[in-house]
Amino acid sequence: MSQLYQPFQPLLTNGGRQSFALTVQQYPAIKSLAGIVHSYLQVSTPKPTPYPMIPDGTQAIFISTDSIQIGGAQPQALDIKLQQSGDYFGIRFYPGALRHFFKLNLSEITGQFVDGQYFPCRYFSQLHHHIYQQSNFLQRARVCEQWLLRHFSPQPANVFDLALGLIYQFTGNIEISQLAYKVGVSSRHLNRLFQRYIGLSTKEFAQIIRIQCVCQQLYEKPNNSLETSVELGFFDQAHLLKEYKQRLLLNPRSLSNRFMSDFYNNE
């Protein structure tokens, strides 16, 4: 179902990269990990700088030359501080996908970044060592991919996956009670699954998918006046703007200004 959702990050647009003077390389996952691993990426910076992110429901593992961190689901926009110049390697996982590699309760780290000790895998530190033995990004991505394949334990599809697919299908515009009815469980049980596998409540995750859809539409159609707010599941434009500011901490114009004028231009 992950093919129905492509998370949007403004920093990964041309305007975002230029605004923050970053070089970003990305490499997609191979077919056997498609829908599980979104991509590998490497951010290179010539100086200490913020790395802004907006909430998208994904999880990411960040591997710098001296540490490993996992980012829990972020309910609001934030800036990660890249403390020194150099390369920062990362793995982006689709929402809920970490359960195919590790037994984790992601509700424990919502809105946080924790170090590699959080992972119940004593070999995880070896990944850090092997990645930075490689001289370039593609070699690092391949080393990472081989490590993930060795630890990949596909979990059978369940009501969580079905609910996730419906949220994507309706771009978050679905009542949680209706969603629970469609997948045949109680809203409370569904919420427990989302908290465990993503770190957000079902309602929070659906809201983030709606806001992601707004960002995508503004990116593709920068002159859109947000008159489609009702179609996106908002009562009116005021409701859309309130939820947008709650999650992104800025209104659409302020956010686009932060990432330069071509933030919303197609590449």
Give the CATH number of the domain where residue 79 resides.
2.60.120
Boundary-marking domain end, from 151, 174, 205 = 151
Residues 47-103 have pLDDT tens digits of 998 899 999 999 999 988 888 888 999 999 999 888 889 999 999 999 999 999 988
Residue 1 pLDDT: 58
Closest CA to 209 of 198, 220, 222: 198
Q: How many domains does the chain have?
A: 2
Note whether 23 and 58 are same-domain residues.
yes
CATH number of the domain encompassing residue 258? 1.10.10.60
Of 87-101, 151-165, 174-188, 234-248, the range with the lowest mean pLDDT is 234-248
What does the pLDDT average to over 169-192? 96
Q: Which domain holds residue 146?
A: 2-151
Mean pLDDT for the chain? Answer: 87
Note whether 62 and 145 are same-domain residues.
yes
Residue 67 pLDDT: 82
Phi and psi based region of residue 184 (left: phi greater than 0; alpha: psi -120 to 50; beta: remaining): left
Residue 122 pLDDT: 61
Residue 267 pLDDT: 41
Distance (Å, whole) CA 144 – CA 169: 31
Residue 2 pLDDT: 59
Residue 218 pLDDT: 79
87 alpha carbon, distance to own chain's centre: 20
Of 2-11, 60-69, 183-192, 222-231, the range with the lowest mean pLDDT is 222-231
Closest CA to 38 of 80, 92, 89: 92
What does the pLDDT average to over 204-208? 96
What does the pLDDT average to over 215-233? 69
Note whether 146 and 16 are same-domain residues.
yes
- Residue 91 Cα distances to 8, 65, 226, angstroms: 15, 15, 33
Boundary-marking domain end, from 151, 186, 220 = 151
Note whether 99 and 172 are same-domain residues.
no
Residue 255 pLDDT: 81
Residue 129 pLDDT: 81
At a CB cut-off of 8 Å and minimum separation 6, what does 223 contact?
A: none
pLDDT at residue 261 tops 60: no
26 touches 12 (CB < 8 A): yes
Boundary-marking domain end, from 94, 128, 151 = 151
Question: What is the CB neighbour count within 10 angstroms for residue 12?
Answer: 17
Note whether 123 and 187 are same-domain residues.
no
Note whether 186 and 226 are same-domain residues.
yes
pLDDT at residue 27 tops 50: yes
Note whether 200 and 97 are same-domain residues.
no
Confidence band (pLDDT; 50, 70, 90) for 251?
A: confident
What does the pLDDT average to over 238-260? 83
Note whether 14 and 117 are same-domain residues.
yes
What does the pLDDT average to over 248-265? 72
Note whether 42 and 107 are same-domain residues.
yes
Note whether 216 and 129 are same-domain residues.
no
Give the percent of the chain with pLDDT over 70: 89
Note whether 195 and 171 are same-domain residues.
yes
Note whether 135 and 205 are same-domain residues.
no
